[in-house]
Structure formats: C-alpha cells, structure tokens
Homo-oligomer: A and B are copies of this chain.
Amino acid sequence: MSNQHEEDRAPEARNRADRPSVLIVGGGFGGIAVARALAHVDADITVIDKQNHHVFQPLLYQVATASLSPATISQPIRTILRGQGNCGVVLASASGVDVEGRKLLFEQGDVAYDYLVLAAGASHDYFGHDEWAPIAPGLKTLSDATEIRRRLLLAFEEAEHEGDPTTRRAALTFAVVGGGPTGVELSGAIKEIAGQTLPSEYHNIDTKTTRVLLFEGSDRLLNAFPPQLSERAKRDLESLGVEVRLNARVTEVTEQGIRVGEEFIETNTVFWAAGVRASGLGESLGVPVDRSRRVIVQPDLSIPGHPEVFVIGDMASLTPDGQDHPLPGVAQTAMQMGQFVGKVLKSEIAGRSTPSDRPKFVYKDKGSMAIIGKNRAVAAIGHRRFTGFIAWLLWAFVHIAFLVGFRNRLRVLFNWGVKWLLNSHDARLIVGDTNMHMSKPVGRGFTPKQQDEQ
C-alpha cells in the first residue's frame, strides 16, 4: 500500500525537509482563509482543528431553532481544502505553544513549525460564573446548536403535559442573555417557531402565549451597529412579541429561573449569547492579552518579538489607528485577517519580502446585518441603512453567497423557501436525553381516566 501511495504523490511533496512548515490552528473563517491564500505556495501547510468540519457560524442559530440541519451549514475541512496538495488537515486539540522553541504542544507530543497562525476563535464568557454554563448553554458549535434545539423543543413537550399552571408557565418562558446579533436572532426565531409553526400541534397549551425575554446589559441592542438600527431592531422584536430588557444585569441563573436586578423570572430554559472569551491558546504565548483573553497583536497581526507567529480572528485584539475600540469579532474580520496573513506568508516564503517589509493590516468594514424574523432584518452597509423586507432580502442573499459549497447553498435555499411559504421548521429533532421533570402530568387523551379516578 505505501509503495503505491508514494507513486500517487505529486512531485511537489518531495524533499519535504526543505520546505517551511506552516501550522494553522482553527478551521473557521480565519484559518480557512489563510490556507486558501497559500494554495500554490511551496510549503507544508497543516490546518489543525478540534472538529472535522468548518461551520458557517452566522447561520448556527437556524440550526438551534430547527430551521436547518447541521450538515447544511457545515463542511468537512478536508473537503474544503482537498484541491490543495500542499495542505493537510489534522483533527486534534493543541494545548499550548512553546514560542521560543517554535513548537505547538499536544498531549501526544510537540510539533515544530516555521510559521504559526492561531485562529482558534472564542467561546462565551459567563462573567466569572462558569457554574451557569450547564444551565444556560451558549451557541458556538454544532453541538451547542443541537443542544439548544433539544432544550427548546423539550420545553414545549414538558409544558404540554404539565398539570401545574406555574410550572407550565416556566416551561413556556425562554430567557436569552445578550443583545448582540446571536441574541437578537435567537429570540426572534424562538418567538416565530412558537407563534407560527407549533400552535396546531399541541392540544393542551397555546404555544402563542410563549414568553421570550431578551436581556442586554447595555442601553441598546446590537452595540456594533448604528444606534438607529438598534432602535429599529428593538421595535421589530417587540412587534413580534419578544420582551426586550435593556440595562439588564443578570445576577443569578438557576434551574428554576433567572434573576435580573430585583426581579426573579421563573423559566426552565436560558440561552447565553453574551460575553466573549478567546481560546486559552493565546495566553500560552507569553504576550499581553486583553480582559477577554484576546492577544494584543502588532499592526501586521504578529506578536511582539516573534514575526513568525500570527494571531487572527476572535483571538486577536487590534485597535486601528485613531480608533478607540478593537475590531469587532465577526466573520469578516477573521476572513480579512486570514487573507492578509496568507498574502504576507506567500510573499515571504517565496523570498520576495522579509518581515521588515510587512504592511499594516487595514480592515474594510463591509457592513453588518442581523435578521429579526420572517421578512425583517437590519443592515448597515457603508453609510447606508436598510431595514424591514429589503434588509431581509440583503441578509438572505449575502448569507447564501458566503456559505461554503454550492450544494449547501441549494439545500439552504430550498429549506428557506419551504419555511418562508409554509412557516415550517423541518429539523425539529430532539436527540439525546428526553427526560422531563414534570411536577404533575396531565394531557388530553393521555390521562383523562387517571383524573377521573383520583
């Protein structure tokens, strides 16, 4: 087998010891952009990720709310990069970096590099209350999304067969913490599924009475957007029936509910879309990080004293000249940073430039958008603002266009078409634990005799 395999190999793969090794940690928007930019470079490139698949994160909330299947918004990293003979993919979890020794550390051993790109992203931050994590899951991976979907759908099942009115009300109450795009999109979609898709399927409850509360710590939703769009998003959510609470500080999250200021709201289901905490790999570099653990990078996205180490995307903190806050942790930042690093490496590996020639990374803001429900979105592109149906069309167009894989685009279009026409949510699968905690079961057809007898 190995003989035959040697013959299959492209000639470029020979003399590997002479070629520089580029390790890219993370197969998200940033990491994939670096790898693609290095397509024809004479180097050994490896993308390392804990998952075998790249996820189109902007549509993750649609998996969480049963509109799309996980496979529709993801693709194996191998498949994305299979055309690149110089690029391997490794399913593994790096534990740290030995910057001086130029080694990436794994449980099984160290791996040397000539260039390292850290693009491992971020997860949520529970503001020092990590004990809230199991109660209030965040939405960063496909597993998170199917877990949120499970809890969301299970809550309605629980309400349907719960005899105690207070407990039933708690099952039909959903709290979303964090008023960024994820929180806005999630709360709008939950209200939509409860109000439009589910009503005809439950006999004991009126799913239209579902309460969805969105808590935001600051004084407006969508902080990274222009204020007028924040205002519009709030109005649109409220007209859908979402209760938006601004300046709301969450002080307690338990199985029974959530405390916001003085008020305790009984709910079985809390979703977390607040705070950012960058991958811990950044800390192992031994250079300054900000309070979200993001690495403070140089203008060329490398770290001080080590031009061979780059940090990009959600792991990087870069404040452009003349501005007072760092670039936002969104897909386009990661992609642009990845393209930039790829271009720099390409030139240096080919010997056309050296680290002292490097340009500064310049971010081009191509706009921001968030969807609020069927036919409604807000978008800021350059100095233009869009709302309502036009913004929604723009949103759909941009998200389809950037989705990886032509087949996935067709699948998503098909699913959105069906959903738009029929208000359906076709991926309503509860997978995993289906145990419910009911105090007093009741249900039409299910327990009438029991009630008569007791």
Contact = CB atoms under 8 A, between A and B. Distances in A.
Given A206-B5, A411-B414, A112 B429 contact: no
Interface centre among A74, A153, A200, A448 (most CB of B within 10 A): A448
A447 B111 CA distance: 6
A448 B16 contact: yes
A88 interface: yes
A445 B444 CA distance: 62
A201 B76 contact: yes
Contacts of A90: 160-161, 443, 446
Contacts of A427: 69, 71
A13 B4 CA distance: 71
Copies in the complex: 2
Contacts of A443: 46, 88, 90
Contacts of A203: 9, 13, 88
Given A72-B69, A88-B203, A90-B161, A430 B51 contact: yes
Given A69-B70, A446-B88, A79 B206 contact: no
A228 interface: no
B46 A143 contact: no
Interface in A405-428: 405, 407-408, 410-411, 414, 418, 424, 426-428
Looking at chain A's contact residues, is the secondary structure mostly helix, strand, loop, or mixed? mixed
A20 to B, nearest CB: 10
7 contacts: A4-B206, A90-B443, A92-B161, A109-B450, A111-B449, A410-B414, A414-B414
Given A53-B430, A142-B431, A411-B414, 16 more contacts: A1-B206, A2-B165, A5-B205, A16-B445, A21-B448, A51-B430, A69-B69, A87-B445, A88-B203, A90-B160, A91-B157, A109-B450, A110-B450, A112-B450, A143-B431, A407-B424
Interface of A: 1-2, 4-5, 8-9, 13, 16-17, 21, 23, 44-46, 48, 50-53, 69-72, 74-76, 78-79, 82, 86-93, 106, 108-113, 142-143, 146, 153-154, 157, 160-161, 165, 200-206, 209, 405, 407-408, 410-411, 414, 418, 424, 426-432, 434, 436, 438, 441, 443-450, 452-453
